[in-house]
């Protein structure tokens, strides 16, 4: 999805990327409360041990009760090519007795793929014993998602333009997804001339329930969605890195064409992330992604927009372009399909009438506006030389022309 979406896109069995805090000398009768700087220094050392694959250093920092789960997680991360890992301590509170709680932001970057790190909030409990502080619990902050390696053993397949990380998936399935992602990247590059990494990271969890945990939302919201792209809108070049997250259940029922369509659509979101801002309506971000995905496939409008075609033939011509709430997951599936199809045909209209370069220029112009209000209106005037009223009328006529009769 476009939401970022962002951006990117949140447990005693949590990340466990935490550490032992030793303060003061061994002769001190009891440590003082650890300062944020001391905790930061500790976590810096712990992160370095993980990056260096120093298991002893990684485990030595933990309360003994956490070592078994931490060792399992250390092993799972062996397949993830980490290029960076860091913590940023944001707050430390005395929670009572000999326990303190630290809030931190964990960021990690995959080597060769992420221009900026993926970030997530963590909460760590530290307890003092015999003059030393130990992390006894590490859990996700409220609303923060899980990470893939928390869900099981991670398998990795590296494509020419992709990295696919999966849990509970066959090697055959991961290689098939990598091949489709490798085809998607140049297809996006051919349609979109913006600067981007030209590579994608795809996560394939074991189930739609696990997908929901990666996204920090209920599984029901994603049950019929084949894939979602995380990310942050309006974050600029340093926005957290995108992840394409595949719903293994919905993806599995698609044919080869549908699977390729999905991954090309999601790769478009990765490519256009910097130009997709809070000023960009969802009809435009999703419409452009579908336009790129369908471009050059030879599919007719009726084939690609069956729900909207049925509505038009029934005399239910949309009165306006789709609004953001119409793209919400978990609602009416047919209405959701009509929203996506309407956005795609709006972008198809621009490319057909004004040209493909004008479509990408229009997208950039909308995203460059300081806010949602007036963004589309200004870009319609300056890039396409039209008005919202005339564009809507042209779009409605385009729908009648392409969908008014069965030409499948």
The distance from CA 57 to its chain's CA centroid, rounded to whole angstroms, is 32
- Give me the torsion for CA of 32, 35, 38, 41, rounded to 10°: 160
Mean pLDDT of 228-240: 66
Q: What is the pLDDT of residue 9?
A: 35
**Lowest mean pLDDT, pick from 47-61, 88-102, 178-192:** 88-102
Structure tokens at 261: 């369509």
pLDDT band at 32 (very low <50, low <70, confident <90, very high): low
Backbone angles phi, psi at 131, to 5 degrees: 85, 10
Where in the chain is CATH 3.10.450.50? 10-145
Residue 178 pLDDT greater than 90, yes or no: yes
Question: Strands, E, within 142-275: which ranges?
Answer: 154-158, 162-167, 200-204, 227-229, 231, 244-246
Residue 27 pLDDT greater than 50, yes or no: no
Q: What is the pLDDT of residue 237?
A: 55
Residue 44 pLDDT greater than 80, yes or no: yes
Contact 118, 108 (CB under 8 A): yes
Residue 232 pLDDT greater than 90, yes or no: no
**Lowest mean pLDDT, pick from 17-26, 374-383, 399-408:** 17-26
CB neighbours of residue 136 within 10 Å: 18
Q: Whose CA is closest to 408, among 343, 319, 344, 313?
A: 313
Contact 327, 293 (CB under 8 A): no
d(CA 8, CA 276): 12
- The model carries a pTM of 0.86
- How many helices, marked H, and strands, marked E, lie in the chain? 14, 11
Q: What is the pLDDT of residue 272?
A: 94
pLDDT band at 158 (very low <50, low <70, confident <90, very high): very high
d(CA 184, CA 227): 14
Task: Please write the tens of the pLDDT for every residue from 339-372.
Answer: 999 999 999 999 999 999 999 999 999 999 999 9
Q: What is the pLDDT of residue 173?
A: 97
Residue 6 pLDDT greater than 60, yes or no: no
Residues 6+ away with beta carbon under 8 Å from 155:
79, 165, 166, 167, 169, 171, 174
pLDDT band at 2 (very low <50, low <70, confident <90, very high): very low
Task: Please write the tens of the pLDDT for every residue from 101-134.
Answer: 999 999 999 998 888 888 899 999 887 777 677 7
The distance from CA 184 to its chain's CA centroid, rounded to whole angstroms, is 17
Q: What is the pLDDT of residue 174?
A: 98
Strand 200-204 relative to strand 227-229, pairing: unpaired
**What one-character-per-residue DSSP string does 195-213 give?**
---S-EEEEE-SSHHHHHH
d(CA 377, CA 63): 59
Residue 16 pLDDT greater than 70, yes or no: no
Higher-confidence residue of 105 and 328: namely 105
Residue 388 pLDDT greater than 60, yes or no: yes
pLDDT band at 236 (very low <50, low <70, confident <90, very high): low
Segment (H or E) for 310 = helix 306-313
**Lowest mean pLDDT, pick from 48-52, 184-188, 240-244:** 240-244
CATH class of 10-145: alpha beta
Q: What is the pLDDT of residue 212?
A: 93
Task: Please write the tens of the pLDDT for every residue from 55-96.
Answer: 998 887 788 888 999 999 999 999 899 999 999 999 998 776
d(CA 243, CA 292): 19
pLDDT band at 217 (very low <50, low <70, confident <90, very high): confident
Question: Strands, E, within 162-267: which ranges?
Answer: 162-167, 200-204, 227-229, 231, 244-246
Q: What is the pLDDT of residue 7?
A: 37
């Amino acid at each position: 999805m476009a939401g970022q979406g962002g951006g990117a896109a949140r447990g005693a069995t949590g990340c466990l990327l935490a550490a032992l805090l030793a303060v003061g000398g061994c002769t001190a009768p009891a440590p003082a409360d650890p300062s944020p700087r001391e905790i930061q220094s500790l976590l810096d050392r712990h992160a370095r041990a993980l990056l260096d694959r120093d298991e002893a250093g990684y485990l030595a920092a933990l309360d003994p009760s956490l070592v078994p789960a931490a060792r399992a997680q250390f092993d799972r991360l062996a397949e993830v090519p980490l290029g960076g890992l860091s913590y940023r301590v944001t707050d430390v509170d005395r929670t009572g007795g000999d326990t303190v709680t630290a809030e931190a932001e964990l960021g990690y970057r995959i080597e060769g793929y992420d221009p900026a790190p993926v970030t997530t909030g963590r909460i760590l409990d530290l307890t003092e014993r015999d003059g030393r502080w130990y992390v006894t619990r590490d859990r996700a902050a409220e609303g923060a998602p899980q990470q893939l390696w928390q869900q099981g053993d991670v398998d990795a397949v590296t494509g020419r333009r992709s990295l696919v990380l999966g849990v509970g998936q066959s090697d055959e399935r991961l290689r098939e997804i990598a091949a489709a992602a490798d085809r998607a990247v140049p297809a996006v590059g051919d349609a979109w001339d913006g600067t981007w990494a030209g590579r994608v990271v795809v996560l394939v969890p074991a189930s739609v329930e696990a997908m929901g945990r990666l996204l920090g939302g209920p599984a029901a919201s994603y049950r019929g969605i084949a894939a979602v792209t995380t990310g942050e809108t309006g974050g600029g070049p340093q926005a957290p890195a995108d992840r394409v997250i595949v719903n293994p259940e919905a993806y599995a029922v698609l044919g080869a064409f549908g699977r390729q369509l999905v991954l090309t659509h999601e790769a478009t979101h990765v490519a256009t992330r910097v130009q997709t801002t809070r000023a960009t309506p969802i009809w435009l971000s999703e419409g452009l992604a579908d336009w790129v995905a369908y471009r050059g496939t030879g599919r007719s409008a009726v084939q690609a927009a069956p729900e909207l075609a049925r509505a038009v033939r029934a005399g239910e011509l949309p009165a306006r372009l789709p609004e953001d709430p119409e793209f919400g997951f978990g609602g009416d599936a047919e209405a959701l399909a009509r929203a996506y199809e309407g956005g795609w045909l709006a972008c198809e209209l621009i490319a057909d009438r004004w040209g493909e370069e004008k479509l990408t220029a229009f997208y950039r112009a909308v995203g460059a506006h300081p806010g949602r209000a007036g963004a589309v209106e200004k870009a319609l005037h300056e890039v396409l030389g039209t008005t919202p009223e005339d564009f809507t009328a042209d779009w409605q006529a385009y729908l009648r022309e392409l969908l008014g009769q069965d030409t499948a």
